[in-house]
């Protein structure tokens, strides 16, 4: 904290994405806090995105789990821990250590993660601890290990600013790592010679920054980068001295790449030969090139090969570990990296040591004074839930993740958890699809209440610090895990008095690993006092005796036995379910700007649902037309595993043959929006990461008798065949639809809202069957419903605002603002609440206005900046329209 800062302000780290922005929180003394970006944090220098800036709106306790529950009833901690320990111990005694499992999360802090891994691997003696990082980073981990001999991210964020060329492969950085994207956009504005290329089947907010967009066929990245490697060779761009000194396997990799001349790459990727050639020439010509990759690479049945295809090109040119050059895996979760450091995956040990290396195992066993150690890797996430379904795992503890939503074949996973003899779930809320299935619910402290460390994408370890008291009986995750370990008889090995003690042990173990030649070394931090730990500034690893190193591998020094990197011979493979008769389309899934995963936190902030408030499918007009799918109608997206119902967004952003659906909606927020239900559990053979971006599906029209839109002051959960609800400023809203309109709209509305009192005002249109209905108390509307045989055309933002302002029925039932107040349209800028119509009007007034001019006129994009790519898109479309006039 710098001088002059009020004493109460606490510096901490954002709990969302892997950019790892520093946050300042000033508690208001009433359970809330004012949130701002930390100007001194090296990741963000004061910036925050829309999700980070809305953190203050997610702190209320309304939905929190405040005491343990057993079978749905409130229970004490002693009872809950004793029962969990007894069920685990009995299961192990009867069926062996591999009959139990932990399924954990990249959203745990390093200290939580460390003790969970130690308990399972060293004391229970099984490697059945896996994590949602399996669904996220495991292909990158496997690719790094194959090429570098360790899971090392060689570069830093600064490299994106120092590069001549940044290639974003399968990364929607503008929405998923917004502050890093803003750093890139600022660097490009300052240095127009910096070129950006996106490789993504879809046009996204990220592509607005791109000089070249490569709309690659889903799953064909290996072909594109094999072709690049071949072009590097034929173009004379191999760095022969780097290869001779530091790399093995180059000849075999080059030989495999020779099978990918330009025409073959064009056939496999669907890209035009000229655009491929231009991309290759640009890549080869740029000495400083960073290739950023994310889930379009990892979440694939050839994910590990995709990672190595990219790394091959960097090794072949020696463009690695130098300022502005290197392959760069950006991590998703706030502590994806920390989880890898402690060994939280079932095929890892700890501190980047290998489970299958007897020497490593013995060293860790000695260090932990562990009674037993598994000799074989445990089950990876997909295998783990299969084992649950088949009764081979009989007790599971799920921490800080929501697999009933986020796993592929999510319906089967949900049913397996429901049928498992014993399920414990640690969460901050009971209102999740997974928590609903638990035998024992354990209340964890959440962001702002817990304390520990996280590591971001550039190996920067930052503190998360508490600035609020633990609510109710909630406890930090590390403590719940240590309490269980003690109840199972291992109290001595888990007798930590706080996260600092755990961190010291973790740091000391990294010193053991460094002694065995591993990359992850923070041993100089093993002697931190509690006070020094509390004050720990952001620190990049390795923090070795030589005082820390910024980048890896410019001079070789890989972590393989011969210290040489490995290039690998690779072959293109189509997605696992590429051809499934009867399912002609490919389902791509991912994220939207303002929601986080299964929405347990972001859905609490009304301003974050203003951007997108319901699940949708992006469908190309060529796919929509033959099926008669109209814009804003409802569609089914169906695979052999499951079916969802979502809104049709007919757009050419997605290519023909491909449908994009966001991953966020759960059974808490929608009737049938859990897209994981439709995704097959096909995995990469090396990493075990599921292919979440290329499922074979078919589309259908969802038969609708009436559509509806509803708002109310109090929470309601519709029972209709389709619904999706969201928080709005003064209450709740829902989109709904069902097969046949009810006979009596007032009765329907009163049941929908659970409101018996108040006056109902109803307007019906006998011709169309549309109805508008408001329930008011003392002249102010408390709930309103708008229905029509076609998608309801009312201004959502106006209705939410009218509800908040307690308007009367006449104002409300008009459905949109009066002529004196223009309708702002759907929200683009959630910080300043600026709608699309307002922005378009400003663009129209200003002609080809600049982003800053639109900002000055409307306020849009002037706060966190996350919406600037969308404003840029509106501007470029408007200028196309002007040009066409």
Ligand X SMILES: Nc1nc2c(c(=O)[nH]1)N[C@H]1C(S)=C(S)[C@@H](COP(=O)(O)OP(=O)(O)OC[C@H]3O[C@@H](n4cnc5c(=O)[nH]c(N)nc54)[C@H](O)[C@@H]3O)O[C@H]1N2
Q: Do residues 848 and 883 make contact, with C-beta atoms less than 8 angstroms apart?
A: no
Q: Does 25 bind ligand SF4 (CB under 6 A)?
A: no
Q: Which is nearer to Mo ion, 129 or 136 (CB)?
A: 136
User: In angstroms, what is the minimal distance from the CB of 105 to Mo ion?
Assistant: 10
Q: What is the 3-state secondary structure (H, E, C) of 585-598?
A: EEEEEECCCCCCCC
Q: Does 232 bind ligand SF4 (CB under 6 A)?
A: no
Tokens in use for 684?
A: 């990469």
Question: Which of 35, 38, 41, 51 contacts ligand SF4 by CB under 6 A?
Answer: 51
Determine the Cα angle at 124 with ends 121 and 130, to 5°.
45
User: In angstroms, what is the minimal distance from the CB of 406 to Mo ion?
Assistant: 9
User: In angstroms, what is the minimal distance from the CB of 664 to ligand SF4?
Assistant: 14
Q: Which is nearer to ligand X, 175 or 707 (CB)?
A: 175
Q: Which is nearer to ligand X, 333 or 776 (CB)?
A: 333
Q: How many CA atoms lie within 13 A of 659 on its CB side?
A: 32
Residue 218's binding partner, choosing from ligand SF4, Mo ion, ligand X, none, with beta-carbon cut-off 5 to 8 A by kind?
ligand X
Report the run of H or E that residue 378 belongs to, with start and end.
none
- Distance, in Å, from the CA atom of 573 to the CA atom of 234, rounded to the nearest integer, reads 24
Residue nearest to Mo ion (CB): 332
Closest by alpha carbon to 394, among 755, 100, 734? Answer: 100
From residue 440, give the alpha-carbon distance in Å to each of 50, 83, 171, 668: 35, 8, 38, 20
Determine the Cα angle at 456 with ends 453 and 461, to 5°.
40
Residue 215's binding partner, choosing from Mo ion, ligand SF4, ligand X, none, with beta-carbon cut-off 5 to 8 A by kind?
none
Beta 834-835 vs 165-169: how paired, if at all? unpaired
Q: Does 831 bind ligand SF4 (CB under 6 A)?
A: no
Q: Does 160 bind ligand SF4 (CB under 6 A)?
A: no
Closest by alpha carbon to 402, among 428, 379, 440, 439? Answer: 428
Q: Which is nearer to Mo ion, 136 or 875 (CB)?
A: 136
Give, as one character, the DSSP assignment of residue 429: B
Q: How many residues bind ligand SF4 (CB under 6 A)?
A: 14
Q: Which is nearer to ligand SF4, 49 or 231 (CB)?
A: 49
User: In angstroms, what is the minimal distance from the CB of 463 to ligand X?
Assistant: 15
- Distance, in Å, from the CA atom of 694 to the CA atom of 660, rounded to the nearest integer, reads 10
Residues that bind Mo ion (CB under 5 A): 136, 332
**713: CB partners within 8 A, 6+ apart:** 730, 731, 732, 782, 783, 803
Residues that bind ligand X (CB under 6 A): 17, 105, 107, 132, 135-136, 169-172, 175-176, 199-202, 204, 216, 218-219, 221, 294-296, 299-300, 332-333, 399-403, 405-406, 426-429, 432, 444, 446, 450, 477, 588-591, 593, 595-598, 600, 663, 675-676, 679, 692-693
Question: Which of 52, 143, 542, 815 contacts ligand SF4 by CB under 6 A?
Answer: 52
- Distance, in Å, from the CA atom of 164 to the CA atom of 161, rounded to the nearest integer, reads 8
- Distance, in Å, from the CA atom of 821 to the CA atom of 460, rounded to the nearest integer, reads 48
Give, as one character, the DSSP assignment of residue 475: B
Q: Do residues 423 and 655 make contact, with C-beta atoms less than 8 angstroms apart?
A: no
User: In angstroms, what is the minimal distance from the CB of 572 to ligand X?
Assistant: 11
- Distance, in Å, from the CA atom of 643 to the CA atom of 676, rounded to the nearest integer, reads 9
Q: Does 14 bind ligand SF4 (CB under 6 A)?
A: yes
Q: Does 871 bind ligand SF4 (CB under 6 A)?
A: no
Q: Does 16 bind ligand SF4 (CB under 6 A)?
A: yes
Q: Does 538 bind ligand SF4 (CB under 6 A)?
A: no
Residue 369's CB is within 10 A of a number of other CB atoms, namely 10
Q: Does 173 bind ligand SF4 (CB under 6 A)?
A: no
Q: Does 599 bind ligand SF4 (CB under 6 A)?
A: no
Residue 221's binding partner, choosing from ligand SF4, ligand X, Mo ion, none, with beta-carbon cut-off 5 to 8 A by kind?
ligand X
Q: Which is nearer to ligand SF4, 178 or 542 (CB)?
A: 178
User: In angstroms, what is the minimal distance from the CB of 170 to ligand X?
Assistant: 3
Residue nearest to ligand SF4 (CB): 52
Task: Burial-class residue 768 by CB neighbours within 10 Å (0-12, 13-18, 19+).
Answer: exposed
Contacts with ligand SF4 by CB under 6 A lie at 14, 16-17, 19-21, 44, 48-49, 51-52, 177-179
């Amino acid at each position: 904290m710098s001088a002059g800062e009020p004493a109460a302000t606490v510096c901490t780290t954002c709990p969302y994405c892997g950019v790892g922005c520093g946050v300042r929180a000033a508690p208001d003394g009433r359970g809330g806090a004012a949130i701002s970006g930390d100007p001194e944090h090296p990741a963000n220098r004061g910036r925050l995105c829309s999700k980070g800036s809305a953190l203050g709106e997610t702190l209320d306790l309304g939905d929190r789990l405040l005491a343990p529950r057993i079978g749905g009833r409130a229970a004490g901690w002693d009872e809950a821990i004793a029962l969990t320990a007894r069920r685990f111990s009995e299961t192990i005694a009867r069926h062996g250590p591999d009959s139990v499992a932990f399924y954990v999360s990249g959203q745990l802090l390093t200290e939580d993660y460390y003790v969970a891994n130690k308990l399972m691997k060293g004391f229970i003696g099984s490697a059945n601890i896996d994590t949602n990082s399996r669904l996220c980073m495991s292909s990158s981990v496997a690719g790094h290990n194959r090429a570098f001999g360790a899971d090392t991210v060689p570069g830093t964020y600064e490299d994106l600013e120092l590069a001549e060329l940044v290639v974003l492969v399968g990364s929607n950085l503008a929405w998923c790592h917004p502050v890093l994207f803003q750093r890139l956009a600022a660097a490009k504005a300052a240095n127009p010679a910096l070129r950006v290329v996106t490789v993504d089947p879809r046009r996204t907010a990220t592509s607005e920054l791109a000089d070249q967009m490569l709309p690659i066929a889903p799953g064909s990245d290996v072909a594109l980068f094999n072709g690049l490697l071949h072009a590097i060779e034929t173009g004379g761009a191999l760095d022969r001295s780097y290869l001779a000194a530091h790399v093995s396997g180059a000849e075999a990799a080059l030989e495999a790449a020779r099978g990918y001349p330009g025409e073959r790459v064009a056939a496999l990727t669907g890209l035009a030969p000229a655009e491929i050639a231009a991309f290759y020439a640009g890549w080869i010509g740029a000495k400083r090139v960073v290739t950023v990759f994310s889930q379009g690479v990892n979440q694939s049945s050839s994910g590990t090969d995709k990672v190595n295809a990219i790394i091959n090109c960097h090794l072949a040119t020696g463009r690695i570990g130098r300022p502005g050059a290197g392959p760069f895996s950006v991590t998703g979760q706030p502590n994806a990296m920390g989880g890898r450091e402690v060994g939280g995956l079932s095929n890892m040990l700890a501190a980047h040591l290998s489970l299958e290396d007897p020497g490593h195992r013995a060293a860790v066993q000695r260090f932990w004074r562990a009674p037993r150690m598994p000799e074989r890797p445990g089950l990876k996430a997909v295998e783990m839930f299969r084992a649950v379904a088949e009764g081979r795992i009989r007790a599971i503890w799920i921490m800080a993740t929501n697999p009933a939503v986020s796993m592929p074949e999510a319906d089967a996973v949900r049913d397996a958890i429901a049928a498992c003899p014993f399920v414990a779930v640690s969460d901050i809320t009971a209102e999740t699809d997974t928590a609903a299935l638990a035998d024992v619910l354990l209340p964890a402290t959440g962001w702002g209440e817990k304390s520990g460390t996280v590591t971001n994408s550039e190996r920067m370890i930052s503190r998360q610090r508490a600035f609020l008291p633990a609510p109710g009986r909630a406890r930090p995750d590390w403590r719940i895990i240590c309490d269980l370990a003690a109840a199972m008889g291992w109290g001595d090995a888990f007798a930590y008095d706080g996260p600092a003690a755990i961190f010291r042990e973790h740091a000391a173990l990294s010193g053991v690993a460094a002694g065995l030649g591993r990359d992850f070394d923070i041993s100089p931090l093993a002697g931190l006092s509690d006070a020094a730990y509390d004050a720990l500034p952001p620190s990049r690893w390795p923090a070795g005796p030589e005082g820390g190193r910024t980048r890896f591998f410019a001079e070789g020094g890989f972590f393989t036995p011969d210290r040489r990197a490995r290039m690998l011979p690779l072959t293109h493979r189509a997605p696992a379910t590429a051809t499934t008769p009867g399912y002609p389309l490919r389902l791509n899934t991912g994220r939207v700007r303002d929601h986080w995963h299964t929405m347990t936190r972001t859905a609490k902030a009304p301003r974050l649902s203003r951007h997108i408030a319901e699940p949708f499918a992006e469908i190309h007009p060529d796919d929509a037309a033959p099926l008669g799918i109209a814009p804003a109608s409802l569609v089914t997206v169906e695979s052999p595993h499951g079916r969802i119902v979502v809104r049709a967004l007919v757009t050419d952003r997605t290519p023909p043959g491909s449908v994009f659906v966001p991953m966020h909606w759960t059974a808490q927020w929608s009737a049938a929006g859990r897209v994981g239900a439709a995704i097959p559990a096909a995995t990469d053979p090396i990493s075990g990461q599921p292919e979440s971006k290329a499922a074979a599906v078919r589309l259908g029209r969802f038969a609708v008798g009436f559509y509806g839109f509803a708002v109310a002051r109090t929470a309601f959960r519709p029972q209709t065949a389709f619904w999706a609800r969201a928080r709005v400023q003064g209450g709740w809203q829902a989109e709904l639809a069902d097969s046949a309109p009810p006979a009596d709209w007032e009765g329907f509305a009163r049941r929908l809202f659970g409101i018996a009192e108040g006056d109902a005002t109803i307007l019906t249109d006998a011709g169309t069957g549309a109805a508008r209905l408001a329930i008011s108390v003392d002249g102010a509307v408390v709930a309103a419903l708008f229905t029509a045989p076609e998608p309801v055309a009312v201004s959502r933002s106006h209705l939410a605002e009218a509800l908040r302002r307690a308007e009367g029925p006449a104002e409300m039932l008009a459905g949109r603002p009066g002529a004196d107040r223009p309708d702002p349209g759907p929200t683009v800028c959630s910080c300043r609440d600026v709608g699309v119509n307002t922005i378009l009007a400003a663009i129209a007034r200003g002609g080809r206005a600049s982003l800053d001019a639109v900002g000055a006129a409307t306020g849009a994009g002037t706060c966190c900046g996350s919406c600037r790519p969308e404003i840029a898109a509106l501007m470029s479309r408007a200028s196309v329209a002007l040009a066409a006039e």
